[in-house]
Structure 1
């Protein structure tokens, strides 16, 4: 919790520092522009004076650019503040179990509980398991009406697959014809929250990472997980 707070403070502090530096630079550039404009007026050819409307246009153009830069800085500061607030609010998710699609961690011995999410029109379904490189390592026939199934993590010879992160998919068929293949869902314990350019990232068991928008459910840890 302290780490998250420190990170948020550093983010906001960095944004404020950057805004202050940018504002100083803008003021300096604006003063320089005025000095150059004054020098130009003092040294113009009296026989062919520069049209005053040209000076006005230059000043207006610079002011417009200055205003746009300041607006961008304000938006950047607000974005940093919102990210900090989001990080703090997501901190309450640490220790909870999040229901996510696709990726799950296998510890090398404990079966993985999976929510297959088979097509309602299916009369046949398969749980497809792939490693992190996208290679299919297992395919198990399952009841298409089952709410949950367990993947035992064993190969055809009865040996456990290596510990690691695996992607779970469910293929649904009807009368032998493919209906669809979707990502199956599972629960993972949240251990950390991180801010990123793509949104808040939640770190689950085994270092699995998910965007907060990909979380479809949240629950208290089960008694067996707490022991």
Structure 2
């Protein structure tokens, strides 16, 4: 039987290679979206070639033109809003960079303590509590337990003089707080704390939200900051 398969030549190889190459579908797409000028040109052409015995309704053209204008205005407005948002985020970042190295009060449990100085923090209770205790601890366990007494709903300022349970001066570093009290039903309730720290750096997420890296190593959102000082 005769062999009807073509012989493989350099020309065949070029043809096979061209078939194996991937094509870019986007390259064949129109590079320009139809705008208002294109629509008007199309409208004029339709009017010139319409059937005189069956003229097209001009109201539909006016409606289409109005919709086209509204779409174009909306597109321009969206572009302007995106530009304003980008500029605002850049301004926020520059302003946030100014607090690097500053002392802040943030919602959290870990705080930075400086040896020889009192550390001040706040208790944020949602309801009145009695026999409130604040426990200061480090990586080795409990350092000091403070008796605060009764607190009302809201914030209460508490100071730690930096002395441990043996009245020894503690070194500077990162410490943790645990605060709790007894409610009207006799149940123990935890209390939120606002603690001091220092801002080491400022970061911006992909969503534009800013986060602060504190001296404790903790990362918090900007809205967790309650106070900024020098």
What range describes the TM-score normalised by the shorter chain of this pair?
0.5 to 0.7
Q: Distance in 2 between matches of 1:214 and 1:141?
A: 26
**Is the contact between residue 104 and residue 186 of structure 1 (CA under 8 Å) also seen in structure 2?**
yes
Q: Distance in 2 between matches of 1:84 and 1:30?
A: 34
- The residue number in structure 2 matching 1:214 is 224
> Residues 36 and 182 (structure 1 numbering): CA distance in 2 closer, same or farther, change over 3 Å?
farther
Matched, 1:85 2:94: no
- The residue number in structure 2 matching 1:19 is none
Q: Tell me the CA shift for residue 61 of structure 1.
A: 0.6
Structure 1 window deviating more from structure 2 (116-125 vs 205-214): it is 116-125
Matched, 1:125 2:125: no
**Is the contact between residue 144 and residue 172 of structure 1 (CA under 8 Å) also seen in structure 2?**
no
Q: Tell me the CA shift for residue 73 of structure 1.
A: 1.4
185, 197, 203: which one pairs with 1:188? 197
- The residue number in structure 1 matching 2:4 is none
- The residue number in structure 2 matching 1:148 is 159
Deviation digits for residues 53-109 of structure 1, max 9, x if unmatched? 1111100011011111211211111111111111111211011111101153689xx
**Is the contact between residue 96 and residue 202 of structure 2 (CA under 8 Å) also seen in structure 1?**
yes
Decide which structure has greater helix share.
Answer: 1
The structure with the larger Rg is 2
Residue ranges of structure 2 left out of the alignment (5+ in a row): 1-30, 114-118, 150-156, 164-172
TM-score in terms of structure 1 length = 0.60
**Is the contact between residue 183 and residue 189 of structure 2 (CA under 8 Å) also seen in structure 1?**
no
Q: How many residues align?
A: 176
Residue ranges of structure 1 left out of the alignment (5+ in a row): 1-23, 108-112, 130-136, 153-162, 221-227
Q: Tell me the CA shift for residue 141 of structure 1.
A: 5.5
Q: Secondary structure at the match of 1:147?
A: strand
Decide which structure has greater strand share.
Answer: 2
What CA RMSD, in Å, does the superposition of the two structures yield over aligned residues? 4.1
TM-score in terms of structure 2 length = 0.59
